[in-house]
Chain A
Amino acid sequence: MDEAQGYVLLTALALPLVAAGVLLFVPGTQKMAARYFSAVIGAILLGLSVYVFLAYQASGEPLQMQLQWAWIENVGFLGENGISLHLGVDGISALLTLLTGVVAFAGTLIAWKLEYRAKDFFILFWILISGVYGTFFALDLFFFFFFYELAVVPLYMLIGIWGSTRKEYGAMKLTLMLVGGSVGIWIGIFAVVHEAGLGTFDLPTLWEAGQNGLISAGTQKLIFPFFVVGCGVLAGLWPLHTWSPDGHMSAPTSVSMVHAGVLMKLGAFGIIRLGIQLLPEGAEFWMPALLVLGTIGALYGAIAALTQRDFKLISGYSSVSHMGYVLIGLATLHVVGVSGAALQMFSHGVMTALVFLLIGSLYDQAHTRDLSDFGGIAKVMPLWVIAYVVAGLANVGLPGLSGFTAEFHIFVGTFKTYPVFGGLAILAAAIAAAYMLRMFGVVFFGPLNPRWRELKDLSPLETVSAVLLILSMLAMGLWWSPFTDRLANTVTNLPGVTG
């Protein structure tokens, strides 16, 4: 059973790549074919992701659905299982798999209206999605890094070709910062694999080495910052977040959705996989520093969002703030806090994907994203406003929506370990309420600017995507035990995590 389920993971990983390969041979003029094909692929992936999430046994071993294929072994310095295609999920990656399925499908539907080089867009989009799945599934350091890079690389072209405001600058800055960060991961990999001296990149084996002292405490403390800086860039860790507002501002809608929704989570996920699990002693040593940075990020992002006038910049900075919560949650090394971090990854993923969807829908018609240009939009775009209000309230942490569940866990975890920082985190949430409410007031209500009388409400495809995302938010907000149960066993078994 376990191995058969492993093939589900392999399918989810390979299907987008196959799709990209197939699209390569579709003529560029056949736009509808590319769209329908991609929508079908997206739907299948959503189905597979839901399956992976539901089939994950909350009471079982942390690592499930494992599949291991020998890949490169017994050559050079590599020993038995040197590099193997080792796939599997734990509670955290099962949750993030679900997130990927939801956001990728929504993103596919949103990309429908793209006219310019539509086929090329989908090729790159599917490569990116494959990289995301691969990173979540990989239980081999080589393939983890392989897919991690694979998820980052297509962004340059996705933003550079299909982006908007200052797209070349945004694309170059984002790519260089993210790849620059992965240099840190690279160096960390060299050091860890060398120090363990086992001739293998297999993650569970290396995790064991990290826990039984084969990787010395000194090395762990030395290498941990490399991993955290490398993954932290992608996670929007302050002060390495500066690509995020620029990148999001330039990116096309569906790329923003996937990027803020899923890709930034790869960074935080990397901190769990490579930081907490691989280098427990390093994590214990450095986590207070990460806590400080995460708190600064949460506050800084919220305050910066308060002062911005561009929709996308507000969301970009709010993402920095929310990813700050994730880092705070991880840094507590407390069961509740770390679970909260995982929940927040999901919650922020669907919420921010919805926000970017809505901003894209507005921008495509209005060609401006300046708050002060708008007013009274609720009169012409009721559905749009309702969806935005739901997303905004989830952002603020209203009970009944996913944001509450996640942030509540994080705050509880933080108060149990570092009460002062718990207070600061709540302050950041209060500021978030301020910028959200400001936006509601300025844009949605008040007198309608006659310029916007012609704006159309959400299209059917956009509505479907928005409903899908809102349902995910409601699910986690109202009935969170399927989520928290799946996390519990994994998080308790993380090395160094106390409860």
Chain B
Amino acid sequence: MRDFTLFIPEFIAVASAVAILGTELIWPKIRKDYLAYATAAGALAWLIATIPYIGDTAGDFEGLLLTDDFTTYFRILAAGIVMAISLLSAHYMRDRTSTAGEYYGLLLVAGTGMVLMAASRELLTAYISLELLSFSLYILVGFLKRDRLSNEASLKYILLGAFSSAMLLYGISLIYGVTGTTSYEGIAEALAAREGGTDAATVVGIMLIIAGVGFKVSAAPFHMWAPDAYQGAPLPITAFLSTASKAAGFALILRLFTGALVVDAVEWRAAIAALAAITMTAGNLLAIQQTNLKRLVAYSSIGQVGYMLVAIAAIGYGDAATAEHASSALLLHIAGYTVSTLALFAALTAHYNRTGDDTIRGLRGLAATQPFLALVITASLFSFAGLPFFAGFTTKLLLFQASTTDGLLWLVGLGAANSFVSLYYYLMVMRQMYLFDPPEGHTRFRPTPLLGALAGLLLLGVVFIGVYPQPVFEATDAAASALFEVSASVLAYAP
């Protein structure tokens, strides 16, 4: 019996996407910001439809997809991100394109892809969900057809993305070859039942899978596409790339690694730890020399991915309890990171709509011309750097603390050192805003009420998670324990 009621929220999302596409088809002259509001309404409906699933018993769809609290968590996250991004885009896209139906439709589709990635329990389903997200993003990144940077970004992203998909598929086929199945549980069982230790094919397969998903979350050395894609993409899509696409990548990684590959943790944990170390260090060091804000955010988000990978390494190094705690803290950190990033981009979009300047120097004197936006930007950058009162301080501290195991203290220490490095380049941005007077001709301005309210709301979120994370932490805890309920049988195989 196929239970289609498990996916009512996603049906709503996709139906909204189709409705938005259709609306523009029938009524081409519709104001483009109305489409944004329609998208936000669709995302809100999607979010509301998710509520009944919170804490509900897990629903299994043919062994391919699972709707448990973990999936629900990413549903809320996806719907929230899509809603914020569509509101961010309203004025930006209205000023820059004549057709926006595809843009908003694809946003919803990409969000659906993200949820499916979190729900997948089978390699090919996971792969197809991943591609659903990726293909939507390829188009969205290149959506500004007349903008050469946007085109370049899209092309690079497609080429490297296809390359990484190939690696991922190769890895999947090797694992299938060894285990004879693509379901996570089957893989775990087969890996545990092998005799005579690990064979080379499994190790190569796992490494290829790591490289493939590493590309998607832009872990160094697989990060090359990210700065160009971030810089060329429309500003709201840059925000989408650095939130949804990363969160989705980690949803997939968490399911796959805790559900299937944890049995062979000895084989991959050192690789993940090294990947985390390289990613955070490269991201933060490269960020220092950037002059473009979007590239700066790209590298800083690569650094953040490095921190998140620490939790994955901890899953490999620690016992079952550590793994669950690290996953829970990782989900919390993703929430904090997402809200901070969205707040940053809400402020940057308001600034960009006004000035059209996306360099760091372009922020010069913003504290005088628009103190509120300067405050929001400062708060989100401080949140990334891990300074108190803002989400990043608490979530990063809890993430690292939960990931501290005897073998990983060095990595956690490296993470702390890296967040110190990151403070330097965030201060360079702040310096422009607060230490200098605005250039000639820049006068005080007001952001549009929509962006101002959005930025204010997200700022409240950043402070709330930073000061009192208990409610969000409880939600991520539920999500993580759902994840481990499924994999409890798998963990029994773990050495």
Chain A residues within 8 Å of B, Cβ to Cβ: 71-73, 75-77, 131, 142, 145-147, 149-150, 153, 156-157, 160-161, 168, 172, 175-176, 179-180, 182-183, 186-187, 189-191, 193-194
Contact yes or no, B473 A76, CB < 8 A: yes
Contact yes or no, B416 A194, CB < 8 A: no
Contacts of A142 on B, CB cut-off 8 Å?
Answer: 397
Closest Cβ neighbor of B382 among chain A residues: A153
Contact yes or no, A179 B420, CB < 8 A: yes
Contacts of B388 on A, CB cut-off 8 Å?
Answer: 131, 146-147, 149-150, 153
Given A149-B387, A161-B434, A191-B404: A179 touches B416 (CB 8 Å cut-off): no
Chain B residues within 8 Å of A, Cβ to Cβ: 321-322, 325, 328-329, 332, 382, 387-389, 393, 397-398, 400-402, 404-405, 409, 412-413, 416-417, 419-420, 423-424, 427, 430-431, 434-435, 468-470, 473-474, 476-477, 480
Contacts of B401 on A, CB cut-off 8 Å?
Answer: 77, 189-190, 193-194
Given A157-B434, A179-B420, A194-B401: A187 touches B412 (CB 8 Å cut-off): yes
Contact yes or no, A190 B400, CB < 8 A: yes
Choice from B332, B416, B477, B480 contacting A183 with Cβ under 8 Å: B416
Whole-angstrom distance from the CB of B336 to the nearest CB of chain A?
A: 13
A394 to B126, CA, bound (A): 72
Contacts of B468 on A, CB cut-off 8 Å?
Answer: 71-72
Choice from A156, A161, A183, A194 contacting B404 with Cβ under 8 Å: A194
A193 to B398, CA, bound (A): 11
A153 to B389, CA, bound (A): 11
Contact yes or no, B435 A161, CB < 8 A: yes
A272 to B187, CA, bound (A): 53
Contacts of B328 on A, CB cut-off 8 Å?
Answer: 75-76
A145 to B476, CA, bound (A): 24
A187 to B411, CA, bound (A): 10
Contact yes or no, A176 B435, CB < 8 A: no
Contacts of A183 on B, CB cut-off 8 Å?
Answer: 413, 416-417, 419-420
A135 to B419, CA, bound (A): 22
Question: For B401, B430, B474, which residue has the most chain A Cβ atoms within 10 angstroms?
Answer: B401
Contacts A76-B329, A131-B388, A190-B412 aside, 18 further interface pairs with beta carbons under 8 A come to: A72-B468, A72-B470, A73-B470, A75-B328, A77-B321, A77-B329, A149-B387, A149-B393, A156-B427, A156-B430, A160-B434, A161-B435, A179-B420, A186-B416, A190-B413, A191-B409, A194-B401, A194-B409
What is the interface of chain A mostly: helix, strand, loop, or mixed?
helix
A321 to B480, CA, bound (A): 52
Given A71-B470, A191-B404: A176 touches B424 (CB 8 Å cut-off): yes
What is the interface of chain B mostly: helix, strand, loop, or mixed?
helix
Contact yes or no, A194 B424, CB < 8 A: no
Contacts of B412 on A, CB cut-off 8 Å?
Answer: 187, 190
Contact yes or no, A153 B387, CB < 8 A: yes
15 contacts between A and B (CB under 8 A): A71-B470, A75-B474, A77-B402, A147-B388, A168-B435, A183-B416, A183-B417, A183-B419, A186-B416, A187-B413, A189-B397, A190-B413, A191-B404, A193-B401, A194-B405
Contact yes or no, B477 A76, CB < 8 A: yes
A161 to B416, CA, bound (A): 28
Given A153-B387, A187-B413: A175 touches B470 (CB 8 Å cut-off): no
Closest Cβ neighbor of A70 among chain B residues: B470
Given A160-B435, A190-B400, A190-B404: A75 touches B473 (CB 8 Å cut-off): yes
Closest Cβ neighbor of B396 among chain A residues: A186
Whole-angstrom distance from the CB of B470 to the nearest CB of chain A?
A: 5
Whole-angstrom distance from the CB of B386 to the nearest CB of chain A?
A: 8
Top 5 closest pairs, chain A to chain B, by CB: A77-B325, A194-B404, A186-B416, A75-B473, A187-B413
A475 to B335, CA, bound (A): 52
A355 to B238, CA, bound (A): 52
Contacts of A179 on B, CB cut-off 8 Å?
Answer: 420, 423
Given A71-B468, A183-B416: A172 touches B427 (CB 8 Å cut-off): yes
Contacts of A147 on B, CB cut-off 8 Å?
Answer: 388
Contacts of A193 on B, CB cut-off 8 Å?
Answer: 401, 404
Closest Cβ neighbor of B324 among chain A residues: A76
A189 to B401, CA, bound (A): 8
Contact yes or no, A176 B423, CB < 8 A: yes
Choice from A76, A145, A149, A160 contacting B398 with Cβ under 8 Å: A76
Closest Cβ neighbor of A185 among chain B residues: B416
Question: For A71, A176, A179, A193, which residue has the most chain B Cβ atoms within 10 angstroms?
Answer: A179
A157 to B433, CA, bound (A): 11
A77 to B481, CA, bound (A): 12
Whole-angstrom distance from the CB of B421 to the nearest CB of chain A?
A: 9
Whole-angstrom distance from the CB of A61 to the nearest CB of chain B?
A: 29
A179 to B386, CA, bound (A): 11
Closest Cβ neighbor of B469 among chain A residues: A72
